[in-house]
Structure formats: structure tokens, C-alpha cells
Amino acid sequence: MADNFESVAIDRIIINGGKKLYGDVYIEGMKNAALPIIFATILTKSKCVIENLPSVSDVILSLRILKDMGASVKYIDDTTVEIDTENFEYGTAPYDLVSKMRASTYLLGAEIGRFQKAKVGWPGGCDFGVRPIDLHIKGFEALGAKVSIESGYINALAENGLIGNQIYFDVASVGATVNVMLASVLAEGLTVIENAAREPHIVDLANFFNTCGANITGAGTSVIKIRGVKKLHGCTYTIIPDMIEAGTFMVAAAAAGGKVTIKNIIPKHMETVSTKLAEMGVDIEEYDDAITVISDQKMNGVTIKTLPYPGFPTDMHPQFSAALCFADGISVVSEGIWENRFKYTDELRKMGANIMVEGKTATITGGFKMTGARVKAVDLRGGAAVIIAALAAEGTSEITGIEIIERGYHDIVNKLAALGADIHKDRVAVSPLNIV
Ligand code: UD1
């Protein structure tokens, strides 16, 4: 009998597991470098051409926010965008757009840096437990801004302008480091960030700014010095390759088996991932801008602890957990950044995984039979984890919630299909009562 709810269309990824992967895959520009650079164009007040932009929904959303706020945004080709922020207007970010994405916090730093005031809705993003912004606020306040939170908006005002200062972060936060760089690049005098994040995307942001006439040194170390300049100019800039997309394909090849060459990457950024895969018994061959992964699917368990760069990336742990379900022996995965990043393990358990989570540590006993199931992407990298498990498992998996995966992976279905995976996307009508 029909229920009282109208059916809704949902997109799914269908995977028939057990196919080995062979061939080359090209990696796109890095999402987490593209996002701060897109918002950084606001500080240039002029025209920038950004190349190697990944076509993922978080990037498209960021460009849409800039466009809605008065910037001119033109795609020159699939991966190149011209952004002119001369007519960008402060405080006009649509609430429903910024509340979808964590990187909207970068609007705060960009608006403060350009207008000495900001008004931005509370940011969204993946749910890993509490995601505070106290360090961002501490940074803005050190530069002379007063920050308040009212009716779901974060407001900031630097009545006497922004003046460089020494800022020490208790935690090496990527977002707070980016935001202080955005807020201080045009401030008066010298800003020094101590215990700054050292991720490659921080270096990319500094390189972008310096190409536009900024004076930033030390990016990539834990002390970044930003000497404020009077103005920036536009530039043409190419985003670095995405180490997390690259790592995801490396782990997929390890778990599903086969031989895959990951192209257009910076192998140095992949060191922790390559080393861990080698420790699991997977063969890794490194070239100038590519890595080949050769796997006979015989893997052994390992211990992983995520840490800020150059430690093991938290954004790679779910994918490794998925692969470790197929490895011999016991693995221990400890999360050193986020308080609750193990929601995806419920999905892996539906496929037969033996994973115990206690606090911030998961213990995975490998070798239990993994079979296809109806599973969902609970967050971006958790979604990549279920795809990897489904590629290596026996039988058919149906993955829902794929719009979350599309926030950070462009064309993942076609890229895997080109490597020989039996994978496709479809759209089905379901009753809201049946959505898992
Ligand atoms: C960024 C990445 C995310 C990645 C994370 C860590 C983007 C868009 N997202 O997120 O994919 O998982 O880096 O590599 O680039 N913290 C505070 N106070 C703050 C800010 C952060 O205590 O004000 C803490 C967080 O709770 C967390 C740690 O610092 O424990 C790291 O967070 P942070 O580096 O800021 O992550 P994001 O920039 O949000």
C-alpha cells in the first residue's frame, strides 16, 4: 500500500566488488588549497586567474558565494577560473550557502583583512564532533578586531584598523592559520604566527599571496611571518595537486589489488601514505610526479596515528581503516586531531568488518569476510572509505549520501570505472521512509 509520503529521487553509487584496478589516474588540484586561495582573491581587489581548480562541489559553492557577493567569476576552461573581486561587497554572504561548508570561515579573515569588519553565518562542514573557532577568534582579536556572535552570525570589527602582532596557537590549526594569514596580509606591521599549521596547502596560500605582492616567509614551518603590505595585485596561479585524492586512489588500488599509477602528484606530499602502504606489504614505485601502487591484496595490519602535517593525515585515516579490514592481523588506528571521526565504521560493520572503537582509537581485526551492503557516506572521507571497502568486498554495494563524496572528489565513479572497477551511478525514487 502506498504511504502518505511522496517519493524522492536519490543518487546512489553501485559497486560490484572484486575487480582489480589497472591503469593510470590523473589527480586534480587540491580542494583544501583551492578553497583558501579562492577566498584570498578577495584581498587582491583585482583579477586573478586560478588554474588546476578541482571541479568539486565545495569549490563551486565557494565561487558561487563570491559571485553572490559581487565578484565576477568566469570559467575559462574546466579547471581555470578568472575571479575579479574589485566589486566584492562585505557582509552579503548568503546564510544558506556558508552554512554548508567549513571553509566559509575563510570569508571572515578575508572580509576583516579587506574591510576591517566582517559578518558571516556560522560555517557548516563534516561532523567530526566539536569544531571550535576559538583560535580563529583569538587571532583576529590579537590583530585588533572585536568579535561577537549573534543570531547565528559571526561579526568582527577592527575600529582602529588591523595591526600586526605575535600569535601563538595552542593547537596547530589549518583553518586558524589560514584566517590569520588572510586577516594580516594587508595589516600594518609584522604578524608572527607561532605553532602555525605546516600543511602543503598553507605553503600554497603563502605562494599565492607572494605572487600577488605579499611579504610572507616561513610557510611550511611552524613560524610564519607576515609583513603587511599596502596593497596586492592580481596574478595567475596554479593550485598544487590533491594529496588526499591521490592517497585515496593509492589505498583503493592496495585494497582492490592490481597496478595503478597515480599521476600529476608531488610524491613528497605522499610520504606518510606511501610509507604506511609499504609497511602493509604493498609495493610502491616512486617517480618525479607519479607513484605506482602494485598490490596482490595480501596486506598485513599496521598501527596508525593521525597528527598534523608532516604526520599521518587525519583525512586519510578512514580510507586506510577500510583497507585494513582486508589485511591480516590486528590494526590500531588512533585519531589525533578530531574527537569523533569514526562514524563511518558503522557502515563498514554492515559489510562484515570487525572494528571496535573506544574513544579516539579503532581496533580493526582483519580477515573477516567483507560483503557488499547498503551503506551510506556519513562524511567526505568516510564516503571514500565505503567506496574502497565496496571495491574490495564480494558482491554488490549500494552507497547513498554521495553528494557528500562529491564535495571533495570530482568524477570518482568514472575515474574508478576507467581503472576497471565495476561501478556506476544511478538515480532512484524512494519513499522518504526508506532512506537509510
Ligand atoms: C582542515 C581541513 C580538514 C582536515 C583538518 C585537519 C579544510 C577545508 N579542512 O580543517 O579536512 O581534517 O584541517 O587536517 O581544509 N581547533 C581548535 N580551535 C579552533 C580551530 C581548531 O581547537 O579554533 C582544533 C580542532 O578541534 C581540531 C584541530 O584544531 O582538533 C585541527 O583543526 P583544524 O586544523 O583547524 O581543521 P580545519 O581547518 O577545520
Summarised one tens digit per residue, pLDDT across range 52-107 is 999 999 999 999 999 999 999 999 999 999 999 999 998 888 888 888 888 889 99
pLDDT at 125 over 80: no
Measure the CA–CA gap between 44 and 52, rounded to whole angstroms. 20
pLDDT higher at 367 or 27? 27
Q: Distances from the Cα of 78 to the Cαs of 30, 74, 311, 316, in angstroms?
A: 15, 11, 33, 27
**212 an active-site residue?**
no
Work out which ligand 1 atom sits closest to the CA atom of 138. Answer: 23
- Grid cell for residue 298: 595480501
- Any atom of ligand 1 within 6 Å of the Cβ of 41: no
Average pLDDT, the chain: 94
Q: Are strands 236-238 and 47-51 parallel, antiparallel or unpaired?
A: parallel
CA atoms within 13 A on the CB side of 405: 25
- Out of 3.40.50.300, 2.40.50.140, 3.90.110.10, 3.65.10.10, the CATH code matching 31-238 is 3.65.10.10
Domain boundaries of the chain, sorted by first residue: 8-27+241-434, 31-238
- Provide the pLDDT confidence category of residue 430 given band limits of 50, 70 and 90: confident
- Any atom of ligand 1 within 6 Å of the Cβ of 413: no
- pLDDT per position as a tens digit, 286-327: 999 999 999 999 999 999 999 999 999 999 999 999 999 999
Q: Is 268 exposed, middle or buried (0-12, 13-18, 19+ CB in 10 A)?
A: exposed
Decide if 150 contacts 78 (C-beta within 8 A). no
- pLDDT per position as a tens digit, 385-419: 999 999 999 999 999 999 999 999 999 999 999 99
Residue nearest to atom 25 of ligand 1 (CA): 131
pTM: 0.95
Decide if 21 contacts 293 (C-beta within 8 A). no
pLDDT of residue 5: 66
The predicted model gives 109-123 an average pLDDT of 93
* Homologous superfamily of the 8-27+241-434 domain (CATH): Enolpyruvate transferase domain (3.65.10.10)
Domains 8-27+241-434 and 31-238 share a fold: yes
Decide if 63 contacts 73 (C-beta within 8 A). yes
Spatial strand order of the sheet with 361-365 comes to 303-305, 330-334, 361-365, 354-358
Work out which ligand 1 atom sits closest to the CA atom of 244. Answer: 11
